[in-house]
Amino acid sequence: MIYHCNACKFNFSRYGEVTACPDCGSQNIRYAAAAERTEFLMYQDMIDQELAQQERMRPGSSGAA
Protein backbone atom coordinates (compact mmCIF):
# COMPACT_ATOMS: atom_id res chain seq x y z
CA MET A 1 0.00 0.00 0.00
CA ILE A 2 1.24 3.45 -0.86
CA TYR A 3 0.61 6.42 1.39
CA HIS A 4 0.89 10.16 1.06
CA CYS A 5 1.84 12.56 3.83
CA ASN A 6 -0.16 15.78 3.79
CA ALA A 7 2.42 17.52 5.97
CA CYS A 8 5.60 17.08 3.88
CA LYS A 9 4.08 15.69 0.63
CA PHE A 10 6.18 12.56 1.00
CA ASN A 11 5.00 9.39 -0.75
CA PHE A 12 5.97 6.11 0.83
CA SER A 13 5.09 2.44 0.62
CA ARG A 14 4.49 0.24 3.64
CA TYR A 15 2.94 -3.11 4.38
CA GLY A 16 0.45 -3.23 7.20
CA GLU A 17 -0.99 -0.34 9.13
CA VAL A 18 0.78 3.01 9.12
CA THR A 19 0.01 5.66 11.70
CA ALA A 20 2.72 8.22 11.02
CA CYS A 21 4.91 9.52 8.19
CA PRO A 22 8.41 7.95 8.30
CA ASP A 23 9.89 11.19 7.01
CA CYS A 24 8.45 13.88 9.28
CA GLY A 25 6.52 11.83 11.84
CA SER A 26 3.23 13.54 11.08
CA GLN A 27 0.05 11.52 11.53
CA ASN A 28 -1.60 13.55 8.79
CA ILE A 29 -1.33 10.77 6.21
CA ARG A 30 -3.72 9.18 3.74
CA TYR A 31 -3.70 6.61 0.95
CA ALA A 32 -1.97 7.95 -2.14
CA ALA A 33 -4.19 8.97 -5.04
CA ALA A 34 -3.77 7.27 -8.42
CA ALA A 35 -1.54 10.02 -9.80
CA GLU A 36 0.62 9.96 -6.69
CA ARG A 37 0.93 6.18 -6.85
CA THR A 38 2.04 6.41 -10.49
CA GLU A 39 4.59 9.07 -9.63
CA PHE A 40 5.86 7.04 -6.71
CA LEU A 41 6.22 3.85 -8.77
CA MET A 42 8.00 5.72 -11.58
CA TYR A 43 10.38 7.16 -9.03
CA GLN A 44 11.01 3.72 -7.50
CA ASP A 45 11.66 2.33 -10.97
CA MET A 46 14.19 5.07 -11.63
CA ILE A 47 16.02 4.29 -8.39
CA ASP A 48 16.00 0.57 -9.18
CA GLN A 49 17.52 1.19 -12.60
CA GLU A 50 20.15 3.46 -11.13
CA LEU A 51 21.10 0.87 -8.53
CA ALA A 52 21.26 -1.86 -11.18
CA GLN A 53 23.50 0.32 -13.29
CA GLN A 54 25.83 0.98 -10.36
CA GLU A 55 25.89 -2.75 -9.71
CA ARG A 56 26.96 -3.50 -13.28
CA MET A 57 29.64 -0.81 -13.20
CA ARG A 58 31.16 -2.12 -10.00
CA PRO A 59 34.59 -3.68 -10.71
CA GLY A 60 34.87 -7.39 -10.02
CA SER A 61 31.14 -7.91 -10.17
CA SER A 62 30.02 -10.48 -12.72
CA GLY A 63 26.43 -9.30 -12.56
CA ALA A 64 25.20 -12.86 -12.30
CA ALA A 65 24.45 -13.76 -8.70
Q: How far is the CB of 52 from Zn ion (least distance, A)?
A: 28
Residues 6+ apart with CB under 8 A from 6: 26, 28, 29, 30
By CB under 5 A, tell whether 21 contacts Zn ion: yes
Q: How far is the CB of 30 from Zn ion (least distance, A)?
A: 11
Vertex 8, ends 3 and 30: CA angle to 5°?
25
Given 8, 33, 42, 52, the residue binding Zn ion (CB under 5 A): 8
Q: How far is the CB of 14 from Zn ion (least distance, A)?
A: 13
